[in-house]
Amino acid sequence: MLHPVGPLPAAVYWRRRLVLLVVLLALLGGGGWLGWTLWTDGDGSSPGGVTGQASRSTEIPALDRVVPSLASVRTPTPPTSTVAAEASSPATPAGPAPGSPCTDEMIGLAVRAPASAVAGSKPTFELVVTNTSAVPCLRALDKGLQELVLLDGAGTRVWGSNDCFPEASDDTRTLAPGEVVAFPIVWGGLTSEPTCTAARVTPPPGNYVLRGRLDTKVSPDAPFTLG
């Protein structure tokens, strides 16, 4: 093979072999390029290829194209009447705590007296305190805080229980709900004034009213007649 034999010179045979080798190399190179082209077009990497377009058309859409934005979702609005009712309804106030002081609003105060008495007699009246709240509470019931006054028909002060014989005591009590406490007060049948310096006389017969007081709490007027 390396030493051709024939009637022609050896150079002729070498040239023929060289031409044949070039042709083989050209065929191999062209086949390789054609194969590479077909492979790249098949996997869709070639721009503009039919297969590449089909692949892109089957891509999974982005999440924001499938799930709507929360800003576009409308939440239901409660009825206006319900909102207005909730806004206008006041909070329930807390009641007094058990054992707290009895305020004037938590007690009732009244005067018990006979309907009438003879002028110059010594009738007994009562100052009545009632716990009207739903809880026990503390109240000072000292003698110095209690007072009864007698007023005539014109509203003039005729007598006061603390004018001439004031009393003192230390009497703070826990009043149960609905508990009633009565304090008797005897009237001597004579007029008086706060300094107890004016002459004391028997008031004339007529219609009067009795008014009670326990510290800052004042009772309604109770009618009373002297005959």
Contact, 214 vs 146, CB < 8 A?
A: yes
Q: What distance in Å separates the CA atoms of residue 172 and residue 177, rounded to the nearest whole number? A: 16
With 0-12 / 13-18 / 19 or more C-beta atoms within 10 angstroms meaning exposed / middle / buried, residue 127 is buried
Q: Which phi and psi (to 5°) does residue 93 adopt?
A: -65, 145
Contact, 182 vs 145, CB < 8 A?
A: no
Biggest CA pair distance of the chain: 185
* Edge-first strand listing for the sheet containing 180-186: 107-112, 124-131, 180-186
The amino acid at residue 103 is: T
Which residue matches tokens 């080798």? 21
Per-residue pLDDT of the chain (227 residues; tens, 9 = 90+): 555 556 767 776 667 777 778 777 777 877 676 776 776 665 544 444 444 444 444 555 555 555 555 555 565 565 555 445 455 555 544 567 788 999 999 999 999 999 999 999 999 999 999 999 999 999 999 999 999 999 999 999 999 999 998 888 899 999 999 999 999 999 999 999 999 999 999 999 999 999 999 999 999 999 999 99
Q: Which phi and psi (to 5°) does residue 6 adopt?
A: 175, 175
pTM of the model: 0.58
- Going by their DSSP bridges, the two strands 146-152 and 157-160 should be labelled as antiparallel
SS3 193: coil
- Say which residues have a Cβ less than 8 Å from residue 174's Cβ, sequence separation at least 6: 99, 136, 137, 138
Token pair of 67 as six digits = 């799930």
